[in-house]
Structure 1
Amino acid sequence: MSAGKAVGSIVTVAAILARATAYGVRAALTKRAVERLEKRYHDRAESAKYLSEAMTKLEVDEPTTTAYMEVFTLSEAMADNVQGIVGRADSLQANAQGLAEATEAEHGRMREANRTHTVKMADRQFIQPR
């Protein structure tokens, strides 16, 4: 990043804390979305299994019942794979929460010091980048 660009972009403590919190929120939303995906795969697997078993009792041809059982097997495998992603999403959410807490611990005291200081701050026009 160039020096001109670094000077031109001002980052505040509030912005850093807001981004850390937002990251945690997005991680939690991602985890919930992945959990819903896992549930959908399990639901579809159970539906395919039910249809395969019902068609077997109704003496539907074997290729059709076998195809539905394959859909069940593949859907269960996908649900298992998604379950691994849920575990990783748990880690992501925990890491994001830790990041937000660490950021608050590190930078929150600066925000508090800026809010409660008794030193007169420089005029904004004086500190504007040129």
Structure 2
Amino acid sequence: MSETSTARSVVTYAAVLARAAAYGIRAARTRAAVERLETRFKDRADSARYLSEAMTVLHVDEPTTSAYMEIATLSNAMAGNVGQIVSASDSLAASAQGLDSETKAQHGRMADANRTHNVQMADRGFIKRQ
């Protein structure tokens, strides 16, 4: 194995924890963005429905009012689909939090032992794979 690939394969405990925490943060941000998208679709559906109803009162031609009502219907359907994505992002956030917790549980003991030990650690060059 070359030195560069060996260097890339070395993963520290801090890096593992940072990556696990980052997954949780990304999942929360994704959920928030998806919730904003759902709100936009609902707002657009309400607006299109209002315009369709207003144009009907003003005796605008049926194809135009129907097109606006169709936009409202499709926007509501999209909001429903996005709502399903919000539910899935909740699962993603829970999984990411579980990953973070599991990583801390599995590797936290090693980090504590490394911080509190009184044995001199070997030089990295000495334990490097050949």
Q: Distance in 1 between matches of 2:121 and 2:85?
A: 49
Runs of 4+, deviation exceeding 6 Å: none
Query: Over residues 23-76 of structure 1, what are the superposed CA-to-partner deviations in whole Å (9 max), with x where a residue is unaligned?
Result: 111111111111111111001000000100111111111111010000000000
Identity of aligned residues (%): 64
Quote the residue 2:90 is aligned against. 90
Q: Which residue of 2 aligns with 1:65?
A: 65
Shift of 1:110: 0.8
Give the structure 2 partner of residue 7 of structure 1: 6
Measure the CA separation in 1 of the matches of 2:78 and 2:6.
Answer: 49
1:7 alignment partner AA: T
Pairs within 5 Å for 1:45-64: 45-64=45-64
Q: C-alpha offsets along residues 9-32 of structure 1, whole Å, 9 cap, x if unaligned?
A: 211111111100001111111111
C-alpha distance in 1 between matches for 2:109 and 2:5: 24
| Aligned length, in residue pairs | 128
- Look up the SS of the partner of 1:125 in the other structure: helix
Give me the TM-score of the superposition, normalised by structure 1: 0.91
1:111 aligned onto 2:111: yes
**Runs of 5+ unmatched residues, structure 1:** none
CA RMSD of superposed structures (Å): 1.6
Q: For 1:111 and 1:42, locate their aligned partners in 2 and report how far apart those are by CA, in whole Å.
A: 48
Secondary structure (helix, strand or coil) at the match of 2:60 reads coil
